[in-house]
Structure 1
Amino acid sequence: MIRIKRTLLVFTAIVLVLPSFLVTAASNDEAEISYKDEVVYATLSATGEQQEIYVVNNFDIKEEGTVFDYGTYTSLKNLTDLSEMEQNNNVVQFSAPKGKFYYQGNMNEQPLPWDISLSYTLDGEKINPDELLGSEGHVEIQIETSANEQVNSVFHKNYLLQISLTLDPAIYSNIEAPDGTIANAGKNKQITFTVMPEKEGKFSVAANVVDFELKGIDISAVPSSMSIDSPDMDEMTGDIESLTDAIAEINNGVGDLEQGVSELNDGVLGLRNGSAQYKNGISELSGSSSELVHASKSIDEALVTMSNSLSKNAEQMDFSQLTELQEGLTQLAKGLNQTADGLDLLKENYATAYSALDKAITAIPDHEISEEQIKALYNIIETEDTANKKVVDQLIETYSAARTAKGTYSSVKEGFDAVDPTLTEVSGSIRKVGTNLTSMATELSSSLENMNVSESFTQLQEGLATLSANYKQFHSGLIDYTGGVGQLANSYHDLHAGTAELSGGTSELEDGVGELYNGTAKLKDSTSDLPEQMEEEIDRMIADFENNDFEPVSFVSSNNNEKINTVQFVIKTESIEKEEQATTEEQPVEEKGFWDRLFDLFR
């Protein structure tokens, strides 16, 4: 009976153990693979030098058969069953049943897609990591990543690096990580940095430490693919549309300004031309004043001489000279009338020029532009837009000149208003004297024909005396008038110079506003579809982050391995820690029986 029981036990043990040794007969047919995943494990030294690298290959076998995989491995390990694996000329061959199949391939000479370097400083001095253990002070850890040009760039361009450090608060305090995220991980602090695809990373962690230790830094790399919901653009595009509408309004306003400045420039140009004519006329009048005063003085002296001569006895008078006096009075009256005509023409030209001047100056707007408005106008213009900034400078300069010219005109307008009535009064006075002289000459001629010398002589003597006395008053007024004309001529030179400067300024202003209008028109055209451009740019940026069109490639053999589902990298640096001294107590060794030894084979 005991023998039967033992036989059953052995049979049962064999039945239980046998499946572990039996391997499904390898089919000569190639296996059908759904996909393959690769997880690349690598260890680095504390400064970033690569130490060990291996890949765990995970196959999803749809139909069992022979699998051919490619890679430059130094050794292989079957992680699924005990079946043998063959490698020949970088081709790995094995038989796999349906389902998941794992194997590990070591490839210590294969470089990673990233160059990773770490450096350390203690209290500002660079230090080797093996000298840091147990140190105390202010420690800074520098981590840098960049593309490894020796490896397929597809990983650097499409993979996201995540770097994590775990720090014990009992060792580290006052932790600073400017570009990292600090989070609690149990009792520890976890510092995480992220490196975007195609970017280089440069990070630092600083802290005060006691009895320095550092666990290995974890670095993972996965394809950058994230789902991003498109933001609600309605409010933003509404604001942008308001901006484009405002720019269009500014452009329309600048267009109106350009037209107004053009009209102002035309008016100021007409003012300048009229002012030039008036300046020439008043200058000629001022130049002829000395001749007019000299002639009036000669008349005054002649009248005095005649009055004195008539005071003598009639017997001693030569009345033949009266005819000459009559002719002289006629010529003098004619000259005074011509002078009055000239003054009337001057008055007419002055009125025309003054009217043009008044209209042009009045047309200058009374707008007062504050410093805040000027600053706001400068803010609209981009800093690099030197051309438009120069135009605005010219606008402000011309605005100041126009305000100055208008103020100057207001202060001297009273003098201009007095010129027209003065010319009218002087012209009338001269014309009245001329008329009187003409009448005197006519009466003298008539008197000479029917004159009773004895009776008329006394009347003539009294008339000439009265004329001589009155003419002195006229001559004095004439001197005052010519002095005023000279002063007006001298003053008007400065006013005309200001008018000419104003004309030049408005001309530059017209050119500048034209350039500004062209600039605002271009700005309007370039921003008219700004909301659509913004939406397109945001869609493009989201597409860059989503990276949905990325197709994974094999790390170990990108040209041969197909149906790659995912490739991930798990990298860890060497820890800087104290070695733990294991204390083990010797346990008495029990001697095992046959069945124990048999079952140990399968445990």
Structure 2
Amino acid sequence: MKVLYKTISAGLAVLMLIPSAIPVSASETTGKEEVIYIMSDAGGSVNGVYAVNIFGKGDVTDYGDYTDVKLLNTNDTVTVDGDKITFSTDSEKAYCQGTLTYAEIPWNISIKYFLDGKELTPEEIAGKSGSLEIKFKIEKNNKCRTDFYDSFALQAAFTLDTKICSDIKADGATIANIGSSKQISYTVLPGKGIDTSITANVKHFEMPAASINGVKMNLDIEIDDSEITDKVTELHDGIEIIDDGANQLFDGSGELKDGGSSLKSGSSTLSDGVQSLDSGITKLSNGIINLQSGLNALNAQSDNLTSGSSQVKSALSEIQSSLNAVSTDTDNLKTLTAASGEIQTGITDLKNGAKEIKDNLAYAQYKAAMSANGLDIDALSSGNAQAIENLNAQIAELNTALLQIQGIPGYENQSALLQSQIYQLSQTVQLLQANNGAIYGTEQYLNSLSDGISQRYSGLAELEKSYSQFDKSISNLADTLSTMLVNVSKLSDGINKLSAQYSELDGGINAYTSGVDKIVKGYSQLTSGAQGLAQGSKTLVEGSRTLDSSVSDLYDGIAELCDGAGKLSEGTGELKGKTSGMDEEIENKIDDILSSIRGSDSETVSFVSEKNTSVRSVQFVIKTDPIEIPETEEAKEPEEEKLSFWRKLLNLFLIRIY
């Protein structure tokens, strides 16, 4: 269709340039031709309308409301009776000119001039320099009594001298070189107006008269529109496929939105659970640190225990030496009794401390303590396992959603966001698995420590029981020695045996204190692990918050995707509905366009008077005043010689012959 328009416009440009110079010749058939000359100022306002009626030889009767009538090429007498004009001529062609009193032409013409953005009158802009804009507009004049606007095409031409005008631009115009000037031509089809602009940079601006010529359109044009309508049918079929795809995309985005909602809810639950876990782990870490402090205090008593045992052993050695020398001292017996009491007290303290550790160190007590503080370890472990299962299911759903939109233009950001969420969910699964591993490790470690403490506690209980009897023996021995200083030999034997037995006891005490020291050192590793677990829990909390925020953003993106898919589905549905029957509409539109291009095939009517019924053609020639720099008196041309008929005619057209 574009090629057709360009071809027609070019043809019109050629056809309409010719009548602007000379009138159309009369044909051999009867009837007259009208050439309507319209003079306007440089702004397009009409100053006068003239008609040149062209007749053949013989008696002529014509009608028109004229103020002045004359024959241009004969000396025949013209009779004017109101609006009736009669004359008789022997000339093959008779040109009769009349000045019309009725000045309403079919078009309203407006030409405005702007320099550097400021509107100036034609008189003001003459000779000026700057950035020029000419706004050219043609509209229908509803005051005109005829329908020439809908059946006549116009050719408008402006001429700019390139010596004073540069960088000339005119959208929609044909620009041709004519000597050193540029001719800017516009074609206006019947029933159409124009609203355009010409721009240029000017120096001492002048412009010749603009011309607008109008002729009746009557072009016989036929085109084969089957190729166009076939393409439209293909287009409509393609739109139906796009609409089906858009509906499927909308359905899929709805499912994705539902899955995203579940993911968002699960992420929020996970975040709450991780925060509860972090709170419990913090309390666990604090409890382990307190237990470490108790073990440290217990370990600190080991020095007193070993020191007291060493004193007892030393005292026994001294008693043994004294008895062996058959000498004993009451003060030594008192020292021995006091030291034995201190050992008994120390053993009891150690046993009680070991019992407290045993009662609180086992994994069952740890779980009970956590439960009392609001954290169910078993539920946490089970919840982690369930969360891992749910997250793996959500990762699978996201992978499915990613496959649905991956590679679709316009969804690159949603694809990248889905990939990021899949990565973050995978990281969360690893954190939850590590968390369950930490819980299991804590259970194994605490159970191991609990077993060791239980063994130490059993040993201390036996030690306490044995030493209690030993202490009683020492007390009895001291009493006996205090009252009896006889049988020293037997006493010495007993002391020797006691000293030998106590050496074994002292070794057991040293082994016990060494075991407590190992427990303390081992428990310090548990404390360090608990602190690391607490630190990791903080990281898990931050990760779960980031995950929850990202999942929320993902859900918002999925919601936007769903809304966009819905709008796309609505739009494609609307497009499908509006393109239905488009082939028929295009055929009708082509017919309308061809109709406007062909013009009207109605009978040609007279512009001058409705009484003129035999009119072969009507033509309009519109000329504006030129824009000229005023001349000085010295520069005025001398008075011209007497003008011939053709000179008069050409002057009427405002055409200057060089």
- TM-score tier by shorter-chain length is 0.5 to 0.7
Q: Scaled by the length of structure 1, what TM-score is found?
A: 0.60
Distance in 1 separating the partners of 2:159 and 2:291: 114
Q: Which residue of 2 aligns with 1:540?
A: 589
Distance in 1 separating the partners of 2:565 and 2:348: 78
Q: Which residue of 2 aligns with 1:160?
A: 153
Residue 329 (1) aligns with residue 355 (2): yes
Distance in 2 separating the partners of 1:42 and 1:217: 13
Deviations, residues 385-434 of structure 1 (Å, cap 9, x unaligned): xxxxxxx7xx83x7666655655677787666544333322211212333
Alignment of 1:229-240 (within 5 A): 229=223, 231=225, 232-233=227-228, 234-235=230-231, 237-238=233-234
Q: Which residue of 2 aligns with 1:106?
A: 98
Distance in 1 separating the partners of 2:466 and 2:428: 57
Q: CA deviation at 1:503?
A: 2.5
Residue 516 (1) aligns with residue 564 (2): yes
Q: Which residue of 2 aligns with 1:54?
A: 51
Deviations, residues 308-353 of structure 1 (Å, cap 9, x unaligned): 2783579535489859947962783365232454555544444444
Deviations, residues 449-486 of structure 1 (Å, cap 9, x unaligned): 99994589949747744542342233222211221122
Q: CA deviation at 1:248?
A: 4.8
Task: Give SS of 1:555's match.
Answer: coil
Distance in 2 separating the partners of 1:533 and 1:173: 47
Counterpart of 1:425 in structure 2: which amino acid? G
Q: CA deviation at 1:84?
A: 10
Distance in 2 separating the partners of 1:463 and 1:437: 14
* Pair 1:305–1:348, CA change in 2 (3 A): farther
Is the CA contact (8 Å cut-off) linking 1:344 and 1:423 kept in structure 2?
Answer: no
Deviations, residues 267-289 of structure 1 (Å, cap 9, x unaligned): 24313312320221122222232
Is the CA contact (8 Å cut-off) linking 1:330 and 1:437 kept in structure 2?
Answer: no
Q: Which residue of 2 aligns with 1:17?
A: none
Distance in 1 separating the partners of 2:383 and 2:166: 90
Is the CA contact (8 Å cut-off) linking 1:44 and 1:572 kept in structure 2?
Answer: yes
Distance in 2 separating the partners of 1:202 and 1:300: 97
Q: Which residue of 2 aligns with 1:41?
A: 36
Q: CA deviation at 1:524?
A: 0.9
Is the CA contact (8 Å cut-off) linking 2:160 and 2:182 kept in structure 1?
Answer: yes
Alignment of 1:199-598 (within 5 A): 199-200=193-194, 219-224=212-217, 226=219, 227=221, 229=223, 231=225, 232-233=227-228, 234-235=230-231, 237-238=233-234, 241-242=237-238, 245-246=241-242, 248-249=244-245, 252-253=248-249, 255-299=251-295, 301-302=297-298, 305=301, 308=305, 311=309, 315-316=340-341, 318=344, 325=351, 329=355, 332-333=358-359, 336-341=362-367, 344-357=378-391, 360=394, 364-365=398-399, 377=410, 396=413, 417-438=433-454, 453=469, 458=505, 461=509, 464-465=512-513, 467-528=515-576, 529-530=578-579, 532-533=581-582, 536=585, 539-540=588-589, 542-544=591-593, 546-547=595-596, 555-557=607-609, 567-570=618-621
Q: CA deviation at 1:83?
A: 13
Q: How many residues are paired up?
A: 506
Is the CA contact (8 Å cut-off) linking 1:41 and 1:55 kept in structure 2?
Answer: yes
Is the CA contact (8 Å cut-off) linking 1:74 and 1:108 kept in structure 2?
Answer: yes
Distance in 1 separating the partners of 2:569 and 2:612: 58
Q: CA deviation at 1:516?
A: 0.9
Q: CA deviation at 1:505?
A: 0.5
Q: Scaled by the length of structure 2, what TM-score is found?
A: 0.56
Distance in 2 separating the partners of 1:205 and 1:446: 115
Q: CA deviation at 1:203?
A: 7.9
Deviations, residues 143-191 of structure 1 (Å, cap 9, x unaligned): 95634564337333543112469999xx999998957557899xx9997
Is the CA contact (8 Å cut-off) linking 1:46 and 1:118 kept in structure 2?
Answer: no
Percent of aligned positions that are identical: 16
Task: Give SS of 2:155's match.
Answer: strand
Q: CA deviation at 1:520?
A: 0.8
Q: CA deviation at 1:496?
A: 2.1
Q: CA deviation at 1:556?
A: 3.9
Is the CA contact (8 Å cut-off) linking 1:244 and 1:527 kept in structure 2?
Answer: no
Distance in 1 separating the partners of 2:430 and 2:463: 49
Deviations, residues 350-375 of structure 1 (Å, cap 9, x unaligned): 44445545554676559999xx989x
* Pair 1:299–1:519, CA change in 2 (3 A): same
Higher relative contact order (CA 8 A, sep 6+): 2
Task: Give SS of 2:193's match.
Answer: coil
* Pair 1:446–1:509, CA change in 2 (3 A): same
Distance in 2 separating the partners of 1:498 and 1:519: 31
Q: CA deviation at 1:521?
A: 1.3
Task: Give SS of 2:65's match.
Answer: coil
Q: Which residue of 1 aligns with 2:480?
A: none
Is the CA contact (8 Å cut-off) linking 1:275 and 1:357 kept in structure 2?
Answer: no
Distance in 2 separating the partners of 1:325 and 1:348: 37
Q: CA deviation at 1:245?
A: 3.5
Task: Give SS of 2:534's match.
Answer: helix
Q: Which 10-residue stretch deviates more, 434-443 or 507-516?
A: 434-443
* Pair 1:473–1:414, CA change in 2 (3 A): farther
Counterpart of 2:607 in structure 1: which amino acid? F
Counterpart of 2:50 in structure 1: which amino acid? I
Gaps of 5+ in 1: 1-34, 60-66, 96-101, 133-139, 378-391, 585-603
* Pair 1:127–1:363, CA change in 2 (3 A): closer
Deviations, residues 563-593 of structure 1 (Å, cap 9, x unaligned): 9886543556899999986899xxxxxxxxx
Q: CA deviation at 1:43?
A: 5.5
RMSD after superposition: 6.4
Distance in 2 separating the partners of 1:531 and 1:218: 46
Q: Which 10-residue stretch deviates more, 504-513 or 304-313?
A: 304-313
* Pair 1:535–1:565, CA change in 2 (3 A): farther
Is the CA contact (8 Å cut-off) linking 2:210 and 2:623 kept in structure 1?
Answer: yes
Counterpart of 2:359 in structure 1: which amino acid? A
Distance in 1 separating the partners of 2:207 and 2:252: 74
Distance in 1 separating the partners of 2:347 and 2:534: 37
